[in-house]
């Protein structure tokens, strides 16, 4: 039986800045409805596929909880099998945290978003409401609009005249886009956080331009009844050597004010050998730069997203973080924010002289159990005969879009509900994007039914590569598709009420931080 730990003990770990990973094992949608500030979403259904990278040190303290769904015991078993040695259960689960009188936060990336609100409150970051921004843009004023989100988000929807400059790139590249000090720089994101952090980054770095955040981002623009652009591909330009040198000096000064420390490559090797401390290594440059060549052992984490989604990249609160960037500016600015968020963060000087790896970052896969597989062509033949059932474990958005014909959707942790559709003892095949998740789930089907399932070799990717047809009719959900939380600030078809409710929630985060009192944030 897993040893329990009280909510008060976990809170003390946070206050004392001791390492702890507080893991919510539910799916992302219920997680987003309420969780402790520094809890991270790591659902039981995907635990083995994500935990090795997200909690790299096997002796890190891990505290598991659910809300009475019975997820803790199987999660503890799986973690033990992977070599994790300090796994605890939160006494009383989520209800125990609530009963202790502690604060619950909504949405995802709550700590980062709350920090952004604190920054605006403490620094009075200037902002511009959407109607005024629209009038100034259409009036041909001397201004630029810099979109601090990921390029993919920008391409989906953007402010007219907006240029994609993801957050960590702003200090490096803004002056090239606005060389006239009289040019106003408007920084936007989808909601509030990246607009605030992006605008305040430029202000902290001492840019001579007037800088404002677009108040409430594309949500505010939409709520004002204003049209967004779609499919834009305008991207940042390369800075001139003089402007880059100036940006380096400005970013270094900001990092120094925030208390960021620096190490060289030999010191990093020594830190990596320390077994008593979790070490995260992130390359905060653009994904394209990372793929062209990166230091071995570093994960791609573009700086703006790392600040926005710190819980995703670094679930172990109290861990040490090292950032790499061959141009310095992105690492210094990102580190300045992480330090203010209470992280022990260092910037690596150099390190790019050694032989570099190329290609995208690839997650570490756990050992996969031996299973019986079926090829795409063989599965197609059996589907045509109608003598096999298909359970799709893909994320629900992927399943909605297209799937292997006749497949039904299921969340892995609730397989029994899907298996109830196939009571006659016939063959069942498990499908997932690349077959890894299906292989992990196969022993669970055997346990539930007494019959080993088949696994589609290579997953949906192999099916598609074979040129076989995908089904796009309305999906069949055997379990609620609550594996992903629908973010009110992403996509183009969000309800007005949801967008406004999201903004109202963000406005209240500073008060929640004060009530919670575990954050340890400071704003320079």
Give the DSSP letter string of 264-287. Answer: -HHHHHHHHT-TTS-EEEEE-S-H
Residue 495 has a pLDDT of 77
Instruction: Put residue 497 in one of left, alpha, beta given phi > 0 → left and psi -120 to 50 → alpha.
Output: alpha
Instruction: Put residue 297 in one of left, alpha, beta given phi > 0 → left and psi -120 to 50 → alpha.
Output: left
pLDDT surpasses 80 at 489: no
Find the mean pLDDT for residues 225-251.
Answer: 96
Residue 493 has a pLDDT of 67
Tens of pLDDT, residues 64-75? 999 999 999 999
Find the mean pLDDT for residues 310-314.
Answer: 97
User: Helix or strand or coil: residue 47?
Assistant: helix
CA 312/CA 309 separation, integer angstroms = 5
Closest to 194 measured CA to CA, from 216, 210, 179, 211: 216
**Local confidence band at 426 (pLDDT 50, 70, 90 cut-offs):** confident
pLDDT surpasses 90 at 174: yes
- Backbone torsions φ then ψ of 212, nearest 5 degrees: -140, 150
Q: For 4-107, which CATH superfamily applies?
A: Rhodanese-like domain (3.40.250.10)
Residue 490 has a pLDDT of 74
Find the mean pLDDT for residues 166-184.
Answer: 97
How many other CB atoms are found less than 10 A from the CB of residue 255?
26
Contact 66, 139 (CB under 8 A): no
Partners of 5 in the β-ladder = 90
Question: What CATH number has the domain spanning 259-348?
Answer: 3.40.250.10
User: Helix or strand or coil: residue 453?
Assistant: coil
Token pair listed for 385: 């005969």
pLDDT surpasses 70 at 218: yes
pLDDT surpasses 80 at 215: yes
Closest to 113 measured CA to CA, from 341, 323, 421, 289: 341
Average pLDDT of the chain to the nearest whole number: 96
**Local confidence band at 26 (pLDDT 50, 70, 90 cut-offs):** very high
Taking CA atoms, 175 is separated from 240, 253, 256, in Å, by 9, 17, 22
CA 189/CA 145 separation, integer angstroms = 10
Residue 491 has a pLDDT of 66
Taking CA atoms, 400 is separated from 290, 471, 480, 490, in Å, by 31, 9, 13, 17
Tens of pLDDT, residues 277-294? 999 999 999 999 999 999
Token pair listed for 13: 């770990």
Contact 245, 175 (CB under 8 A): no
CATH of 372-465 given 3.65.10.10, 3.40.250.10, 3.40.50.2000, 3.50.50.60: 3.40.250.10
Find the mean pLDDT for residues 146-175.
Answer: 97
Contact 171, 305 (CB under 8 A): no
How many other CB atoms are found less than 10 A from the CB of residue 243?
16
In the chain, CATH 3.40.250.10 sits at 4-107, 115-236, 259-348, 372-465
Find the mean pLDDT for residues 451-455.
Answer: 96
Q: Where are the alpha helices (DSSP H) in 124-262?
A: 130-138, 151-156, 170-177, 193-204, 217-223, 241-257
Find the mean pLDDT for residues 257-284.
Answer: 96
Residue 492 has a pLDDT of 63
Tens of pLDDT, residues 202-213? 999 999 999 999
Q: For 115-236, which CATH superfamily applies?
A: Rhodanese-like domain (3.40.250.10)
What is residue 135's DSSP assignment?
Answer: H
CA 198/CA 246 separation, integer angstroms = 18
CA 434/CA 437 separation, integer angstroms = 8
Token pair listed for 490: 């992403």
Residue 153 has a pLDDT of 95
Q: Where are the beta strands (DSSP E) in 86-245?
A: 87-90, 127-128, 143-147, 162-164, 184-188, 211-214
């Amino acid at each position: 039986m897993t040893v329990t730990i009280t909510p008060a003990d976990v809170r003390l770990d946070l206050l004392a800045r001791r390492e702890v990973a507080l893991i919510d094992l539910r799916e992302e949608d219920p997680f987003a409805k309420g969780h402790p500030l520094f809890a991270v979403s790591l659902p039981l259904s995907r635990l083995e596929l994500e935990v090795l990278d997200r909690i790299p040190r096997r002796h890190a303290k891990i505290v598991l909880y659910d809300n009475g769904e019975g997820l803790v015991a199987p999660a503890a078993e799986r973690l033990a099998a992977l070599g994790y040695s300090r796994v605890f259960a939160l006494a009383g689960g989520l209800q125990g945290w609530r009963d202790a009188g502690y604060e619950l936060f909504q949405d995802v990336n709550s700590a980062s978003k709350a920090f952004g609100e604190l920054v605006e409150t403490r620094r009075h970051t200037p902002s511009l409401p959407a109607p005024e921004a629209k009038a100034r843009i259409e009036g041909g004023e001397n201004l630029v609009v810099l979109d601090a989100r990921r390029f993919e988000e920008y391409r989906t929807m953007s402010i007219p005249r907006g240029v994609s400059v993801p957050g960590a790139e702003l200090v490096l590249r803004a002056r090239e886009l606005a060389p006239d000090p009289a040019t106003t720089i408007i920084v936007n994101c989808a909601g509030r956080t990246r607009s605030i952090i992006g605008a305040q980054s430029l202000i902290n770095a001492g840019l001579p331009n007037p800088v404002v955040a677009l108040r409430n981002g594309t949500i505010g623009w939409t709520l004002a009844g204003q049209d967004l652009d779609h499919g834009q591909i305008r991207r940042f330009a390369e800075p001139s050597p003089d402007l880059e040198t100036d940006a380096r000096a400005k970013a270094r000064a900001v990092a120094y004010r925030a208390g960021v420390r620096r190490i060289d490559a030999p010191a990093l090797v020594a830190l990596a050998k320390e077994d008593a401390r979790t070490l995260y290594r992130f390359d905060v440059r653009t994904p394209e730069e990372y793929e062209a060549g990166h230091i071995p052992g570093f994960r791609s984490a573009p700086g703006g997203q790392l600040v926005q989604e710190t819980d995703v990249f670094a679930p172990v609160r109290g861990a040490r973080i090292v950032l790499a960037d061959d141009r310095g500016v992105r690492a210094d600015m990102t580190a300045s924010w992480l330090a203010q968020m209470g992280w022990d963060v260092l910037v690596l000087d150099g390190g790019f002289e050694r032989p570099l790896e190329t290609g995208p970052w690839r997650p570490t896969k756990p050992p996969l159990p031996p299973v019986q597989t079926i090829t795409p062509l063989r599965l197609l033949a059996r589907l045509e005969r109608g003598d096999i059932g298909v359970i799709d474990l893909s994320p629900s958005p992927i399943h909605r879009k297209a799937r292997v014909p006749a497949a039904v959707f299921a969340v892995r942790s609730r397989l029994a509900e899907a298996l109830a559709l196939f009571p006659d003892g016939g063959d069942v095949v498990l499908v997932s994007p690349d077959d890894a998740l299906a292989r992990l789930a196969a022993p669970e089907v055997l346990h539930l039914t007494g019959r080993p399932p088949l696994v589609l070799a290579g997953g949906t990717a192999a099916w598609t590569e074979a040129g076989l047809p995908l089904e796009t009719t309305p999906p069949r959900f055997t379990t609620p598709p609550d594996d992903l939380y629908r973010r009110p600030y992403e996509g183009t078809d969000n309800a007005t009420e949801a967008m406004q409710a999201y903004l109202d929630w963000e406005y209240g985060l500073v008060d929640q931080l004060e009530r919670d009192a575990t954050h340890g944030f400071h704003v320079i």
